[in-house]
Amino acid sequence: MMFDRRGFTLIEIVVVLAIIGMVMMLVIPRLPNSEREDLKISARTLASTLRYLQDRATTTGTTYYLHLEPGTDTVKVMQAAGDGSEKEPEDPFLQQRPTKEGVLVADVVIPRLGKLSDGQVRLDIGAGGLRDFVTIHLSSPDGEFWTVMGFPSSGKVKVYQGYQEDAL
């Protein structure tokens, strides 16, 4: 009588588990932190939203407002109504929140107003683009920063990792 012995030995299983363990030790630290990734995505989305608002305002002649509340995660786009009030934008892209929930607006720097760390800030974006040079600092709950800078003369919007105070 012959026995058919198929399967893995204990040594083979231990070796495979050791290899899997080593690979996990190398890969897991390199996986992106979700808070950091949310911050990076929020900074890039906010920059894209500012660029888009400038383009829309120029092509349609409509004024838009970007409402920011430093110290909170509140960022909202509004559109000027004919009677001087504000309304929700008709564009579905602008109805979406430009930053991810939990990403804070640390502060907003406008040279003529200084650094604004609380209250409400309204950026006017008209046919000529942004009215003022603006620096928006976004932060994650773990203290990481990204900076979004809007330049009124050229209409450019740049994104930098970290807390940048001067235009690079």
Burial 38-58 (b: 16+ CB within 10 A, else e): bbbebbebbbebbebbbebbe
Query: What pLDDT was estimated at residue 3?
Result: 65
Average model confidence (pLDDT) across the chain = 89
Contacts of 114 (CB under 8 A, 6+ apart): none
Rounded to 5, what percent of the chain is helix, strand, coil? 30, 30, 40
Please give the pLDDT value at position 84. 81
Residue pLDDT, tens place only, 69-83: 999 999 999 999 878
- pLDDT higher than threshold 70 for residue 42: yes
Residue 39, SS3 per DSSP:
helix
pLDDT attached to residue 152: 87
What is d(CA 31, CA 25) in angstroms, rounded to the nearest whole number? Answer: 11
Q: Which helix (H) or strand (E) holds 55?
A: helix 34-60
Is the separation of the CB atoms in 130 and 56 below 8 Å?
A: no
Confidence band (pLDDT; 50, 70, 90) for 142?
Answer: confident
- At residue 61, does pLDDT exceed 80? yes
Q: Average pLDDT of 79-99?
A: 88
Residue with tokens 């309304």: 87
- Name which of 48, 59, 65 is nearest 122 in CA terms: 65
Domains annotated on the chain, with CATH: 34-161 (3.55.40.10)
Q: How far is residue 70's CA from residue 67's CA, in Å, rounded to a whole number? A: 10
Q: Distance between CA 155 and CA 55 in Å, rounded?
A: 9
Q: Are 47 and 106 in contact (CB under 8 A)?
A: no
Question: 162: which residues sit within 8 A by CB, 6+ positions away?
Answer: 145, 146, 147
